[in-house]
Amino acid sequence: MKHSEVTELFENHVLQTYGRFPLTFVKGKGQYLWDSEGKRYLDMGGGIAVNILGHAHPDLQKALSEQSQTLWHCSNLYQHPLQGELAEALVHQIGDGKIFFSNSGAESNEGLYKLARRYGHAEGRHEIITFKQSFHGRTLAGIAATGQAKVQEGFGPLFSGFQHAVFNDLRSVEERISPSTVAVMLEGIQGEGGIHPATPEFLLGLRELCDTHQLLLLWDGVQCGHYRTGFFQSFQSLLHHQEADTSFLPDAISMAKSLGGGFPIGAFWVRQPFSTLLGPGSHGTTYGGNPLACSVASRILQLIQEQSLDQNALKMGSRLQEGLHKLQLQFPDKIDEVRGMGLMLGIVLRNDGATDSAPSMALVKSLHQEGMLTIPSGTHVVRFLPALNIQPHEVDEALHLLEHTLSKH
Ligand X SMILES: Cc1ncc(COP(=O)(O)O)c(C=O)c1O
Q: State the residues that interact with ligand X by CB under 6 A.
A: 48, 104-106, 109, 135-137, 187, 191-192, 220, 222-223, 256
CB burial class (10 A; 0-12, 13-18, 19+) of residue 138?
middle
Pick the closer one to ligand X by CB: 373 or 406. Answer: 373
Cα(268)–Cα(248) distance, rounded to whole angstroms? 18
Smallest CA-to-CA distance from 281 within 76, 74, 73 is with 76
Pick the closer one to ligand X by CB: 30 or 131. Answer: 131
Minimal distance, residue 112 CB to ligand X, in Å: 10
Q: Which residue is nearest to ligand X (CB)?
A: 105
Q: How far is CA 73 from the centre of its chain?
A: 26
Minimal distance, residue 135 CB to ligand X, in Å: 5
Residue 194 falls in which region: left (phi positive, over 0), alpha (psi -120 to 50) or beta? left
Pick the closer one to ligand X by CB: 127 or 187. Answer: 187
Pick the closer one to ligand X by CB: 192 or 394. Answer: 192
Euclidean distance between the first and the last CA atom of the chain, given in angstroms as a whole number? 32
Pick the closer one to ligand X by CB: 221 or 323. Answer: 221
Pick the closer one to ligand X by CB: 104 or 295. Answer: 104
Minimal distance, residue 256 CB to ligand X, in Å: 5
- Counting other chains too, the contacts that 27-34 makes at CB distance below 8 Å and 24 or more residues apart are 28/54, 28/55, 28/56, 29/54, 29/55, 29/56, 30/54, 30/55, 30/56, 31/55, 31/386, 31/387, 31/390, 31/391, 31/394, 33/373
